[in-house]
Structure 1
Amino acid sequence: MDKKNRYQGNNGRGNPANKQKTEGLSWGRQVVLQLLRESPDRVQKVFLGKNAGESFARQIKTLAADGGIAVQAVDPDVLSDMCGQANHQGVACRSGDVSIMDFEDLMKTLPAEGPLLLVVLDHIQDPHNLGAIVRSAEACGASGILFPRRRGALPGGTVVKVSVGAALRLPMAGVTNIVRTIEQLQEAGFWTLGLENKRGRSLWEGEMPERVALVVGAEGEGLSRLAAETCDDLVQIPITGKTGSLNASVACALGMFEWARKWGPGVNLKGK
């Protein structure tokens, strides 16, 4: 398969110094507010820009006080330096790390029967794509994300930010071998569906089993050869325009919501 036609995206390899500096930090108004409301036990300290609006600052301080969390006022330039020049929107917080489970521990949390969606990431590189995938996965009712512990993006501050805190709620498991993981999921009764770009049947055609592991490849490279060969089936998203490919997180979201359209928690909603 032509690598140029694979799902595209940035490689996510930023400045290592910035990556280390922002580790454990989450930023952005919506993210910090959501953490303070839903997971205050995970928040260790809030850094509030001195130029934050009075109304927003009051809201942050009230929520932090309710959770017994310290708030430190900092200059905007200091906050920008802490967040690696990211768009922090005047607030950041230091939170506990994203909980990364082992494969076996994740499987123990899953019900033995009924619809289930897991997402297997075959070396996604860009933390922004990982965050977007996690956000969509939680929104559609997926039960967990599996990703390689090496040679791929790992959950951190950027992933928490982009996922709007979903990375702190959705079970996430690190694995050592993607192909072996696909095989183990097959042994556990999951239909493994590889998402490709230029081969496989249309995602809109055929049956969608109720217990699916959706396997998504890396930006630029797509699924590895062995991962594609191991999957039970390969599907592609029909594209009629001249673009030729979709961002990995967008393609993954379409795949997840195609499962959710039939089996997701909102499938019986009427008039909403």
Structure 2
Amino acid sequence: MRKPFEVGDLCFGRHPVLDLLRADPKRCLKLYLSRSAEEPFRRRVIAMAKGGGIPVQYVEMSFLDRLAPLSVHQGVVARVAPVTLLDFWEFVEDIPPSPEPLLVVLLDHVKDPQNLGAIVRTAEACGAAGLLLPKRRAALPTGSVVKASAGAVFRVPIVSIVNVARAIGDLQELGFFSVGLDAAGERSLFAGSLPERLLLVIGEESGLSRLAKEHCDEIRKIPMRGKGESLNVSVAASIGMYEWFRARESTS
């Protein structure tokens, strides 16, 4: 069963949605547009969404009626983040220069909001400079994530990326060493210290995507005993972040 959206996660109606796209498009995570929307409005809202890199899903009016019951949605509903997502290059401009130690975390299509919230909370505790999220096929910082993170999403820079592989490559060019966590890794996470300027790439329990693996400088695994095949993604992320943090603390 599809979980209902929280009230604060939605913006609906033609004028409110257009105002959102004009004034604060980075908060717009996704648009649901009726297949029967009038052509002039349809062209306008699609053009604005494309300009902001916002995914659009075409749906029936009945879907919107269920999504935003008791509202006058006029054939369009936007899913909205309670925080403004940073543009990748905006984030990069504020990164302290080398050789200052820095941790950036990239989530490779982690879909569960509770896991995302827990990861953001740990990222704040470990002093991560930012958390990178793809806008498609991934959990995004909605109200449930705010709650799971204990408000950390308001304090850790959350960065929107279009392409995981491209983001890894761009950060490598900026001097980051990328380590992906995956059960198929040949080297243990604990076999040698992690680089001081680290891009930690984390996927779902099923592992990293093929492209993420191909673009990372190194793939490491978290050694395990017992019969479990994998750790919960938020647990694995926490172990990876704290391994980097532990080394920095021991030398400070």
Q: Structure 1-normalised TM-score?
A: 0.64
Matched, 1:252 2:237: yes
SS in 2 for 1:206: coil
Quick one: distance in 2 between partners of 1:121 and 1:199? 17
2:197 matched residue in structure 1: 211
SS of equivalent to 1:160? helix
Following superposition, the deviation at residue 218 of structure 1 comes to 2.3
Provide structure 2 residue ranges, at least 5 long, that are not aligned to the other structure: 11-80
Matches within 5 A, 1:93-112: 97-112=82-97
Q: Deviations over 1:122-161 (max 9, x none)?
A: 0000000000000000001111000101111000111110
AA in 1 matched with 2:2: N
Deviation at 1:268, TM superposition (A): 5.7
Pairing partner for 2:145 from 136, 159, 175: 159
- Superposition map of 1:131-210 within 5 A: 131-210=117-196
Among 202, 227, 243, the alignment partner of 2:228 is: 243
1:22-171 equivalence runs, <5 A: 22-23=8-9, 97-113=82-98, 114-171=100-157
Residue 262 of structure 1 is matched in structure 2 by: 247
**2:5 aligned counterpart, secondary structure:** helix
2:2 to 3, 7, 15: 15
Structure with the larger RCO, 1 or 2 (CA within 8 Å, 6+ apart): 1
Q: Which residue of 2 aligns with 1:233?
A: 218
Read off the aligned partner of 2:216 and give its amino acid letter: C
Specify whether residues 110 and 117 from structure 1 end up closer, same or farther in structure 2 by C-alpha distance, changes over 3 A only. Answer: same
Partner of 1:80: none
Distance in 1 (CA, whole Å) between partners of 2:97 and 2:251 is: 22
TM, length-normalised to structure 2: 0.68
* Coordinate RMSD, CA, aligned: 1.9
Q: Distance in 1 between matches of 2:129 and 2:143?
A: 22
User: Structure 1 stretches (4+) deviating beyond 2 angstroms?
Assistant: 266-269
Identity %: 49
CA distance in 1, matches of 2:6, 2:204: 23
**Mapped partners of 1:112, 1:149: distance in 2:** 27
Cα contact 1:115–1:210 (8 A) shared by 2? yes
Q: CA deviation at 1:200?
A: 2.7
Conserved? CA contact 1:200–1:233, under 8 Å:
no
State the Cα distance separating 1:250 from its structure 2 match. 0.2
Contact 2:124 2:156 in 1 (8 A): yes
CA positional deviation for 1:244: 2.0
SS state of the match for residue 155, structure 1?
coil
Unaligned stretches of 5+ in structure 1?
A: 1-13, 25-95
Q: Which amino acid aligns with 1:15?
A: R
Query: Contact 1:99–1:168 at 8 Å: present in 2 too?
Result: no
AA aligned to 1:109 is D
Q: Deviations over 1:7-55 (max 9, x none)?
A: xxxxxxx625x1253527xxxxxxxxxxxxxxxxxxxxxxxxxxxxxxx
- The equivalent residue for 1:42 is none
Q: Is the 8 A contact 1:125 1:219 kept in 2?
A: no
Over residues 42-93 of structure 1, what are the superposed CA-to-partner deviations in whole Å (9 max), with x where a residue is unaligned?
Answer: xxxxxxxxxxxxxxxxxxxxxxxxxxxxxxxxxxxxxxxxxxxxxxxxxxxx
